[in-house]
Amino acid sequence: MNTFLPKDHAGEVATEIELIRSTEPEKAQQIANVKLFQQARNAAVLPLPPGEGRGEGTGEGPSTPLRNLQQTARDRQNIFTALMEAVKTHSLGQISHALYEVGGEYRRNM
């Protein structure tokens, strides 16, 4: 973790940070929330027939929010509205991969 130290700190500054842990009910609620999101996403995104498109079986057909997001990015339009629709039914990983297909993935030159 990065910590800002003022110029006049006169050596090491020991700071004790209290960690906050989730309770068991909080953990169980978060797991339930994720499962509900996945169920809603799976119900909203119907799979493509096998062999159709790169997103085979993932529900990334022409009318899905991911395809709309990709087309918006290809058209060099503001993707905010399309992104807000995509997050309702898709995970961060799905959205990231859809955008990687359009613009590629950043790779730092070594």
The Cα 68–Cα 9 span in angstroms is 53
pLDDT in tens, 27-73: 999 999 989 888 877 776 555 444 444 444 444 445 688 999 999 99
pLDDT in tens, 97-108: 999 999 888 888
Reported pTM: 0.52
**What is the average pLDDT score of the chain?**
78
Overall average pLDDT of the 78-87 stretch: 94
Please state the three-class secondary structure of 38-83 as a single string.
HHHHHHHCCCCCCCCCCCCCCCCCCCCHHHHHHHHHHCCCCCHHHH
Please calculate the CA angle 79-71-45 and round it to the nearest 5 degrees: 90
Specify the pLDDT at position 28.
Answer: 96
The Cα 101–Cα 24 span in angstroms is 39
